[in-house]
Amino acid sequence: MTTASQTIRKLAGQSLCQAFSIWGVAIVAAMLVGQAASASPVVLYDSITGNTASAADTADSSQYLADKFLTDAFSYDLNSVVLELANSPVGVAVDLYSDNSGVPGSSLGSFSNPGSLVAGPNTFTASGLPTLTSNSAYWIVLRGVASGAADWQFTDGSGTVSPNWQTLSSAIRTSLGGAWNTSSSQPYMMTINTNSSAAVPEIDPASFGSALSLVLGTLSLLGRRRRQG
């Protein structure tokens, strides 16, 4: 006849086994979700969608144009930046700059130009640029190379950016080595595309295998103890 203590032990073992089953499934599911999310693109900044161009400023070898963007609590890998240009330029470059007290600081590297530049949206691909760190400010800078020039469109006075925690800050430097003049109402039109692999850490296969083995081993041990009890 089953004693009260044996009954309690069996019930406790069953509850513990169920708890570990749920815990194990949760861990595996979280790992798989994290792994899937790590490949998801994130539009970190967008001042093109829903906005109307007001006019354009010209970037050349002495006059640089810049638009500011922020990161939130995560870090991101740059994928590309799309600039809305008013002409079909040649001889231009797009750079990533750090922030220096509200104006562009130093260059962190350059994007790769598309095969040809057109009037309208142009996609510049990130290549070898550093990971964007969390809670930081950066600038996209457009400049001319040699005699090249480009007209970068900016929004009208009602222009907005998304997501809504982003900033409405642009800057222009009219001479090499000169001061940056900033504006907080008419951002240049651009979209920044990132890869969220830095925002959601990828699951290491070895770690995943170890965690799965631990879960299965624990469930097997609890199952044996239940049968013995």
75-133 pLDDT tens trace: 999 999 999 999 999 899 999 999 999 999 999 999 999 999 999 999 999 989 999 99
Per domain, the residue ranges of the chain are 4-38+201-228, 41-195
Q: What is the mean pLDDT of the chain?
A: 81
* pLDDT surpassing 70 at residue 228: no
Contacts for 72 with CB less than 8 Å, ≥ 6 apart: 134, 135, 165
Higher local confidence (pLDDT), 16 or 62 = 62
Comparing 37-46, 73-82, 145-154, 203-212, the range with the smallest average pLDDT is 203-212
d(CA 76, CA 161): 19
User: Which residues are CB-contacts of 26 (< 8 A; sequence separation ≥ 6)?
Assistant: none
CATH of 41-195, one of 1.10.3470, 3.30.310, 2.60.120, 1.10.260: 2.60.120
Is residue 131 left, alpha or beta, with left meaning phi > 0 and alpha meaning psi from -120 to 50? beta
Which region among 91-95, 135-139, 164-168 has the lowest average model confidence (pLDDT)?
164-168
Which H, E and C letters describe the chain, residue by residue? CCCHHHHHHHHHHHHHHHHHHHHHHHHHHHHHHHHHHCCCEEEEEECCCCCCEEEEEEECCCCEEEEEEECCCCCEEEEEEEEEECCCCEEEEEEEEEEECCEEEEEEEECECCCCCCCEEEEEECCCCCCECCCCEEEEEEEEEEEEEEEEEEECCCCCCECCCCCCCEEEECCCCCCCEEECCCCECEEEEEECCCCCCCCCHHHHHHHHHHHHHHHHHHHHHHHHC
Label residue 6 by pLDDT band (50, 70, 90).
Answer: low
